Amino acid sequence: MAYAAGEMLKGKICMKLLTFTVPCYNSQDYMCRCVDSLLVGGEDVEIIIVDDESVDDTGKIADEYARKYPSIVRVIHQENGGHGAGLNAGLNHATGLYFKVVDSDDWVDEESYHQILDTLHNLCSAGCMLDMMISNFVYENEGARHKSATKYHNILPQGQLFGWEETRNFKIGQYILMHSVIYWTQSLRDCHLVLPKHTFYVDNVFVYVPLPYVKTMYYLDVDFYRYYIGRDDPSVNEKNMIKNIDQQIKVNKLMVDAYDLWKIPDRHLRHYMLNYLEIITVISTVMLLKSGTEENLEKKRELWTYIKNADIRLFHKLRNRIMGQTLNLPGKGGRKLSLTIYKISQKVIGFN
């Protein structure tokens, strides 16, 4: 399927095909595995390593890669701003037609990588306009014999360009995450994507905000991204999510404010974004409940009041769904029952 904008792509085929941004902070012990896996792409790619004012040898290692591979690797040394600032810097300096983020403790699968590049090459050569490529990602649990993967073959068409109307219903816990997405770089700029500094969980904003600018997608059923969750203190475990709850709430509110969902004309996209926003709100609410403190229970009430004031229709939609009702039962008994039901539904939600 060819589009008028395909002529523009043909004119840009000489540029880098794909930009990888690798945000790094004190990553000396594991960043080489990440960068080495990306170098397999050769001259088709550029790798932008963003050193977020590390205090170890991250910066030196990055500079050595740039010295050794000057036509592929670029390094940005910046004042500490967190993961979001690293993504912003990478996007601001990206020259690739497409853009992907790879965290410095993650890596990509070589065989899948070649298939990704071949597919992007073929689509560009055919003059096809692609806004987003989707692939699978694998949870790399250290010491685990079985590695689970998030796949989309039962939801998305394969081997063709498609739009939102051709997608099936996404199951809860099966969303398109940062690990699974490659965006057309211009779409990220068109939506004026700027992520907040010093904030965890901005990956959700990175994926969510550009979605209304995505008209065409392509799904490649390969286990491309390897998501490492073997460190002792990841930001996504419950203890640290409760500790960083203000940042989770900040991301939640940014997603609420990003769009008036009822003005999005494509009902399939609107439904998907509503479900995505629901699961983020469920996670925020659950973490506030699990902390058990009066301060966080008040933050829970404030979050729901914020949603109500921002969009009364969205508020009622979220509250009237099963998880919204369950997580807003009154009193101590209601909170206890809410958490019991949440524990039962954890695997359904896809959050551990």
Distance CA 141, CA 131 (A): 31
In this predicted structure, what is the pLDDT of residue 287? 87
Burial 305-321 (b: 16+ CB within 10 A, else e): ebbeeebeebbebbbeb
Within 10 angstroms of residue 123's Cβ, the number of other Cβ atoms is 20
Tell how strand 107-108 and strand 217-228 pair up.
antiparallel
- DSSP letter at 197 equals S
In this predicted structure, what is the pLDDT of residue 27? 98
Selection from 31, 68, 23, 30 nearest residue 48 by Cα:
23
Q: Above pLDDT 90, what percent of the chain? A: 72
Which of the pair, 123 or 290, is modelled with greater confidence?
123
Selection from 229, 218, 236, 226 nearest residue 152 by Cα:
218
In this predicted structure, what is the pLDDT of residue 9? 43
Instruction: Give the mean model confidence (pLDDT) for residues 206-225.
Output: 98
Q: Out of 185-199, 222-236, 320-334, pick the least confident.
A: 320-334
Q: Out of 82-91, 165-174, 189-198, pick the least confident.
A: 165-174
In this predicted structure, what is the pLDDT of residue 110? 98
Instruction: Give the mean model confidence (pLDDT) for residues 296-303.
Output: 95
pLDDT reading at 332 higher than 90:
no
The mean pLDDT of the chain is 87
Question: Which of 1-10, 254-263, 343-352 shows the highest mean pLDDT?
Answer: 254-263
SS3 for 94?
A: coil
Structure tokens at 80: 């500490």
Gyration radius of the chain's alpha carbons: 21
In this predicted structure, what is the pLDDT of residue 347? 38
In this predicted structure, what is the pLDDT of residue 322? 53
Q: Above pLDDT 70, what percent of the chain? A: 84
**Which whole-number Å values give the CA distances from 230 to 106, 110, 143, 178, 194, in the listed order?**
10, 21, 8, 18, 29
DSSP letters, 321-351, are: SHHHHHTT--HHHHHHHHHHHHHHHHHHHT-
In this predicted structure, what is the pLDDT of residue 239? 83
Over the stretch 230-263, which tens digit does the pLDDT of each residue have?
654 444 577 888 899 999 999 999 999 999 999 9
What's the pTM value of the predicted model, to 2 decimals? 0.88
Which of the pair, 282 or 13, is modelled with greater confidence?
282
pLDDT reading at 209 higher than 80:
yes
pLDDT reading at 342 higher than 80:
no
